[in-house]
Amino acid sequence: MASSKKLLPSDLPAYVEAKLKSWVQPCRHLTLALSGGMDSVALLDILVQLRTSLHFPLSAVHVNHQISSNSADWAEFCTRLCAGHHIPFQVIKVDLKRVPGESLEALARDARYRVFAEQQTDFILLAQHLDDQAETLLLQLLRGAGAKGLSAMGAMSEEGTETLRYLRPLLDVPRGVILDYAALRGLHWVEDESNADISYDRNYLRHRVMPELEKRFPGYRVTFARASRNLAESAQLSDDLARLDLATAVVNGNLRVDALRNLSGARARNLLRYWLAELGIPMPSAGRLENLLQQLCSARDDAQVHISMGDTVIRRYRGEVHLEKKTLAPLLEPALIWSLQDMPDLPWSGGGLVFERTTGQGLSLARLTAAPVTIRLRQGGERLRPDCLRPTRSLKNLLREAGMPPWQRQRLPLLFSGESLAFVPGVGIDCEFRAQEGESGVIVKLERAI
């Protein structure tokens, strides 16, 4: 297939067909994000032509943001369009709650992607094109984004989900070619009046900046796309390096401060940024990230480092960086009865307990279940004997020796058999409840939400 800059409007169906053949196996379900605008209507027309020969079920979804007074008309247009092609279709309304300092465009985008993530499909198809890519790159550059942000969009991406993939088969196609294809096919579409409102940053670039760029640099779209791909490669290399550093820098889910100190500034920031992203923490600004790194690495060893970041608290304790949610549920009052099932969500503990059946390891099931098994919190005065060669000891001292941070000790789920303490996460199993060789047992793990 010829490159997109030589692409004729009549070539578009064959161009998209080649893309889909390389991405999608037969019988995989494709769902088009249909706005009703020219781009998505053109892509719908192409997909209708290809669905039989490529053997894929096709559906469409329209997200009604309820911003414009014409929103209902656009949804009705999309409904009629899909009905005419016998395409399963749904309209999803979203309510956008304005957040101070956040753009309406960003809120709408986030709402759309939440809807897409809920679709029962294999792929979401988006009609974004080469002009969209150029605008996105320039917007991100103006916002001071790093290499990952400047990577802009990918033709195929997962974007926050392990099972749902997003496909953009027109991403290397200029908008003008798509417009000519729509005219060639006699297609009709709706126009969002907000697209002409230059108070929105993207529209300002589209109507005022990009036309001037094209006069002087007519090939800027392709050049921007190439720059975006180069930056995506740089971002991937940074992630690869962070994963290598992470392999030795994390102990029990916590980041070692000495590992950060031993790296160059750029590499330490890269590691910290990657670790936070892997844990789902909203990315701080460059200045906030630098300040966080300085506090973690430069404060005295006995300093109480306590940094708020959104709904997360970042602390340092005994040379390790710990994260926890601010908004944990109230502490448990009555004991929870355990009936040999996983309890992955204990909101008051910041995580949950996972149980793995074994033989000759962990807790003895027979001895554990000889009395009612409950999960309780510390009340004070608990004792445990994790070492059969030593006497019973106070849980307070055991927790201190285990390096359990003070703020976690009161929320620690303790496993009791009757009135006997059998297991404490991070400390161990009481000697009396250890499974013997050949005996049915269970290994208990505390998995924290962060």
Per-residue pLDDT at 293 exceeds 60: yes
pLDDT band at 333 (very low <50, low <70, confident <90, very high): low
CB 28 within 8 A of CB 55: no
Averaged pLDDT of the chain: 89
Residues 6+ away with beta carbon under 8 Å from 423: 363, 414, 415, 429, 430, 433, 444
Distance CA 421, CA 435 (A): 15
Distance CA 52, CA 324 (A): 51
CB 87 within 8 A of CB 59: yes
Return the percentage of the chain with pLDDT > 70, whole number: 93
Distance CA 352, CA 449 (A): 8
The mean pLDDT of 143-168, rounded to a whole number, is: 80
Residue 369: Cβ within 10 Å count: 15
What are 81-133's pLDDT values in tens digits? 999 999 999 999 998 877 666 778 888 888 999 999 999 999 999 999 999 99
Please report the pLDDT score of residue 100 as a whole number.
66
pLDDT band at 350 (very low <50, low <70, confident <90, very high): low
Per-residue pLDDT at 294 exceeds 70: yes
Per-residue pLDDT at 327 exceeds 80: no
Q: Any alpha helices (H) in 250-285, and if so which ranges?
A: 257-261, 265-278
The mean pLDDT of 63-83, rounded to a whole number, is: 94
Global pTM value: 0.74
Per-residue pLDDT at 162 exceeds 80: no
**Count H helices, E strands: the chain?**
16, 22
Question: Six-digit token pair at 287?
Answer: 């200045």
Please report the pLDDT score of residue 179 as a whole number.
97
Question: Six-digit token pair at 311?
Answer: 């709904």
Per-residue pLDDT at 424 exceeds 60: yes
Please report the pLDDT score of residue 244 as a whole number.
96
Per-residue pLDDT at 25 exceeds 80: yes
User: Would you call 308 helix, strand, or coil by DSSP?
Assistant: strand
The full set of domain ranges for the chain reads 4-225, 252-325, 336-448
CATH of domain 252-325: 1.20.59.20
CATH of domain 4-225: 3.40.50.620
Please report the pLDDT score of residue 3 as a whole number.
45
Question: Six-digit token pair at 116?
Answer: 């897409």
CB 422 within 8 A of CB 368: yes
Strand-strand pairing, 343-346 and 351-359: antiparallel
- Kind plus residue range of the DSSP H or E element containing 30: strand 30-33
> Token pair 């040379």 is at which residue?
319
